[in-house]
A and B are shown apart, each in its own frame.
Chain A
């Protein structure tokens, strides 16, 4: 098991373009989370999946953001019409159900120019 894998690690895009990030969780984990982290701040919760069902979306997640987890395996986070304010580290985490630890990936750093 190689842990939570995120791709790409870095993405530079022009304002207005669409971007998609991928997260591969630990294989037996049924919970998957997306967080966003800006410089000097702790990670902020964006959304959560239990298996393939998206059970909560933060108000931080505007209509330009969409996440999917087909078949309860990997997940994708898409940002449409990117803005400079979207520049951040996007972190994915996975866990088993219950009060157990979450395992985070190394993140995808997005820079919108």
Chain B
């Protein structure tokens, strides 16, 4: 499975947008980009996934670069409940997610 690179930590003010970057320069044509987040003392929670086109759902948006070598998870209005570790994962439809250390998002009131 291809590897992803994310910043260790980021901060955001409450009610402001947050852009969480992820680099995946070795992505293959069949790799999907998945994002999960993990709140303290919880299991990971699915956020969004995409292949080539930008995606929106009720939680977030996923912007995928044209060359697919990077992507950005966008939280449109951060709340204190969005403070979590965010993981960017590549998967080609197999069952095995390779989690890195993710980005720890801190939301400031």
Contact = CB atoms under 8 A, between A and B. Distances in A.
- Same complex for A and B? Answer yes
Contacts of A103: 46
B101 A106 contact: no
Contact of A42 (B42, B45, B96, B99): B99
Given A91-B43, A93-B43, A98 B93 contact: yes
Interface in A18-68: 31, 33, 35, 40-45, 48, 50, 55-56
Interface residues of B, number: 21
Contacts of A56: 95-96
Given A40-B101, A41-B101, A99-B32, A104 B45 contact: yes
Interface residues of A, number: 26
A55 B95 CA distance: 10
Contacts of B101: 40-42
Contacts of A91: 43-44
Contacts of B85: 42
Nearest to A42: B99
A89 to B, nearest CB: 8
Contact of B99 (A44, A48, A99): A44
Interface of B: 32, 34, 41-46, 49, 85, 87, 91, 93, 95-102
25 contacts: A33-B95, A33-B96, A35-B99, A41-B101, A42-B85, A42-B87, A42-B99, A42-B100, A42-B102, A43-B44, A44-B99, A48-B96, A50-B95, A55-B95, A56-B96, A91-B43, A93-B44, A98-B93, A99-B91, A101-B46, A102-B97, A103-B46, A104-B43, A106-B42, A106-B43
